[in-house]
Amino acid sequence: MAFLPQKFLFSALVSILCFAFEVSSYRRVYTPPNVTPLTSSFPRVPIDRGFSKSFGASNIQYLNNGSMATLALNKTSGSGLVSQGRYYYGFFSSAIKLPAGLSSGVVVAFYLSNADKFPHNHDEIDIELLGHDRRNDWVIQTNLYSNGSVSTGREEKFYLWFDPAKEHHYYSILWNSYHTVFLVDNIPVREFIHSNSYPSIFPSKPMSVYATIWDASDWATHGGKSPVNYNYAPFVASFTEMELSGCVVSDPSETSSSSSSSTTTTCSKSSSSTSGLDPANGPEFSKLSQQQIAAMDWARRKLMFYSYCNDKPRYKVMPPECH
């Protein structure tokens, strides 16, 4: 029997090690930087008081005196919650624990939208947690729409540096007149700055807050290549430590303008806010701190693997903010 060349053995060993690294969790590699927790700046709200059941009511359970809710997806239905208030700017956060095991096609979302009030001109700010079959990992996708601009997706996708199915982790959105910031465990992963140069692309109308789990096999798995496997159902996501601090709109019909500068919203003080009508729109939330900027740079260098601003095959002309 001929002996394998030493060069071939070395190459094979490298391939095996690379494969082992591929299937092992990248979560062991990265230690996140320290940041001042923004979630400590706002009070928590009992979920059963801040939300109503939107769909799949039989798949929703309130636990711990309403401070926690579980949302399930089975072959019959997904499930979702919608905030009882409609907010114009604010800080919105939840600690979420994702379903364990094979999760391809399952999407757990925490987002703001007004599609129910403005079906042809809606705004949306999305955190979507996408189950994947590869390494059984989850991916976080962030996105924004404004004034019905659904033809221009502004997605950015990141890997996580932890196992999101083992325990709860914070997923947060800061939305104010200055910027929209997406945070994971208080680390900013994305900042979308409001610019007067292109005001029409900035979400500008009051929105409700949603927490959902649903079957997104048709788009979240490369066109349905890896649909939800209901042999592993039910898929259960847990939400707790909810924060809803913002300006609560008393009459959303008053704010049909697409420009935030001309909005004449009448707001009532939120029961979840202790710092005035616009608790997340003060100067202390107008820009990221140097610590937050450094943490965001870390997240984007280490964990971001897709940004629409780098997708030249998708856009012949890049969206204006990419320049």
**DSSP assignment string, 201-256:** GS--S-BEEEEEEEE-HHHHTTTTTS---GGGPPEEEEEEEEEEEEEEES-GGGG-
Active-site residues, by number, are 124, 128
Residue 245 has pLDDT above 80, yes or no: yes
Question: For residue 250, what pLDDT is reported?
Answer: 74
Q: Report the CATH architecture of 26-314.
A: Sandwich (2.60)
Q: In percent, how much of the chain has pLDDT > 70?
A: 80
Whose structure tokens read 């450094």? 294
Looking at residue 14, what DSSP letter applies? H
- CA–CA separation, 106 vs 117, rounded Å? 27
The residue-averaged pLDDT of 114-136 equals 88
Of residues 124 and 221, which shows the higher confidence score?
A: 124
Instruction: Report the range of poorest mean pLDDT among 60-64, 96-100, 207-211, 273-277.
Output: 273-277
- CA–CA separation, 69 vs 46, rounded Å? 10
Sign of the Cα torsion 35, 36, 41, 47 reads: positive
Phi/psi of residue 143, each to 5°?
-160, 160
Q: How many CB atoms are closer than 10 A to CB 302?
A: 14
Peptide bond into 234 cis (omega under 30): yes
Q: Where are the domains of the chain?
A: 26-314
Of residues 275 and 91, which shows the higher confidence score?
A: 91
Q: Is 64 left (phi over 0), alpha (psi -120 to 50) or beta?
A: left
Question: For residue 270, what pLDDT is reported?
Answer: 44
The residue-averaged pLDDT of 73-90 equals 96
The residue-averaged pLDDT of 283-311 equals 96
Query: Which of 157-195 are b and which e, b meaning 16 or more Cβ less than 10 Å from the residue's Cβ?
Result: bbbbbbebbeebbbbbbbbbbbbbbbbbbbbbbbbbebe
| Per-residue 3-state assignment (H helix, E strand, C coil) for 173-200 | EEECCCEEEEEECCEEEEEEECCCCCHH
Residue 96 has pLDDT above 60, yes or no: yes
Residue 9 has pLDDT above 70, yes or no: no
**Helices (H), ranges, the chain:** 6-23, 47-50, 217-220, 290-302
- CA–CA separation, 146 vs 124, rounded Å? 6
First and final C-alpha spacing in the chain: 61
